[in-house]
Amino acid sequence: MPKRHHSPNSAKPTPFSPAHRKQRGNHNRNLIALWVGIGLVVVFAAAWLLLRPSQGLPAEISVAQAFEKYQAEALFVDVRTQEEWNQGHIAKSVLIPLDELPNRLDELPRDRDIVVVCHTGVRSKEGATILHNAGFKRVSCLSGGIQGWVAGGYPIQQ
């Protein structure tokens, strides 16, 4: 096999020449920079998705926060059924079952804080979203529902 000689004027360096090692080193540094850049983009995108504002969706508030709103005369809208309401409800709250809520929006004030309540907090999220999508700006839902309210030691009316 004939021996290859590297000429300084040739366009392509041989595999073991200093010029080839330099090219390979530059290539490796470029790949590292590319992966670091991709990693940074992924980290920043994940942080943005996790930390961005909630798009103005209704806040889910704790029982203690709800009680503060209750004391400040917020309107509590209970979206449970009549039967559930009869078993116990927050005093001065208004019963509008979730399936009736879209047709009874005109009964609710738009200039007052509204806290939506259900049994465990699942339906209240849906109710708060219905109100939010209908243009109500001061809406939140009670995390844990009436169960959380009672567990927190707050009174209910029978």
- Is beta strand 139-142 parallel, antiparallel or unpaired with respect to 59-61? parallel
- Torsion (CA) 95, 97, 98, 103 in degrees, nearest 10: -90
Four-residue CA torsion sign, 85, 76, 139, 48: negative
Query: Does 141 qualify as catalytic in the annotation?
Result: no
Within 8 A by CB and 6+ apart from 91, the residues are 155, 156, 157
β-sheet bridge partners, residue 140: 59, 115
- Asked whether the beta carbons of 123 and 98 are under 8 A apart, the reply is yes
Tokens of 24: 């390979």
Q: Which of 118, 128, 139, 141 is catalytic?
A: 118
Q: Which residues are catalytic?
A: 118
